[in-house]
Amino acid sequence: MIKSITVIINQKGGVGKTTTACALGIGLSRIGYKVLFIDLDAQCNLSYNLNANLDSFSIFDLLNNKPLKVEKVIQHINNIDLIPNIPKMSVSNNNLVKLARKKYKLKNILKDIKDNYDYIIIDTPPSFNIFTINALVAADSVIIVALSDIFSIRGIYQVNDIVNGIQQRNNKTLKILGILLTKYNVHTILNREMTKLLYKTAKNINTKLYNTKIRESIHIKESQLFKQNIYNYMPNSNVTTDYKNFTKEYIKDINKKIIN
C-alpha cells in the first residue's frame, strides 16, 4: 500500500535533485520498502545512475499515449523498480504540444500500480514543463532540494508558487514536506549565514528545513562515475551518513502525515 508519491524538485540545475532522488529511493529500499523510481528528466541522469537498460520503452512513450502497458516499461533493477527516461534523438514539438494538455496522464498511469509500492520517488528536470506538472498532479508530497546560495532562495519561492497553483486547481493533497540543503560545507561563513536565511524562507512558505544537511563530498561524484550507489560505494562516508539520516527524517514525516 502506497505511503507516499514524492517529487524531488527545483528548477535550478545542478543542485542535487537526481543525487537525492537516487539516495532516498535506494535508502528506502535498503530498509525493506518497495520503491518505484520515475525519471521525468530528458537528461536521463537518474536512469543512468540506476544502470537502466536504455534500449527500451520510456516514460515518454507512456505519457505520449502509445498503446503500451506500464508493466512493459517498468524495469526491475536489483531491489528497485524504475520507469526510465531514454535518450531520444528527437521529441517533436508536435508531440510536446499534444502532451501539453495532459496534466493527469501520469496520475492515471499510476492509479493501477501505485499500491504495489511503499514509495514512489520522482526526479524532475531543471525547468518547469508538462512533465513537472504531471509529477505534481500525481504526487502527494514535494521535497525542494537547494544549495545555500541566494538564487536557491528565489527558486524556493518559485517552486512554492507553482505547488500552490497545482494545490488549488488540480491536487488538494499536495504538500511541501521540506527543503533539503545539499553540497553543504559547514566550515564556510556563507553556508552558516545562508542556513539562517533558509530557515526563515522555510517558515515563510509554511514548511521546514530538514535538520539533516547533505555535506559536500567527492564520494558522490566518484560513486556516480563507478555507477554504484553511495551506500555500497562508501558506507562510512559523511555524505552516506547524511543521506541515511535524511531518509529517517523523511520516513518519520510521512508516518506522521499518514496518522494525521
Angle ∠(139,227,120) on CA atoms, nearest 5: 15
Q: Which is nearer to ligand ATP, 105 or 183 (CB)?
A: 183
Residues near ligand ATP, by CB under 6 A: 13-19, 41, 43, 45, 126, 182-183, 214, 216-217, 220-221, 224, 239
Judged by DSSP in three states, 85 sits in coil
3-state secondary structure of 34: coil
Residue 216 interacts with, from ligand ATP, Mg ion, none (CB under 5-8 Å by kind)? ligand ATP
| Burial class, 78, CB count within 10 angstroms (exposed 0-12 / middle 13-18 / buried 19+) | exposed
The interface partner of residue 87, options being ligand ATP, Mg ion, none and the CB cut-off 5 to 8 Å by kind, is: none
Q: Please report the DSSP string for 123-181 in residue order.
A: E--SS-SHHHHHHHHH-SEEEEEE-SSHHHHHHHHHHHHHHHHHHHHT-TT-EEEEEEE
CB of 248 to ligand ATP, least distance (A): 18
Nearer to Mg ion, 47 or 247 (CB): 47
Which of 20, 29, 45, 134 touches Mg ion by CB under 5 A?
45
- Closest separation in Å from C-beta 20 to ligand ATP: 7
The option from ligand ATP, Mg ion, none interacting with 14 (CB < 5 to 8 A, set by class) reads: ligand ATP
Closer to ligand ATP at the Cβ: 43 or 167?
A: 43
Q: How far apart are CA 21 and CA 6, in angstroms?
A: 9
| Footprint of Mg ion (CB under 5 A) | 17-18, 45
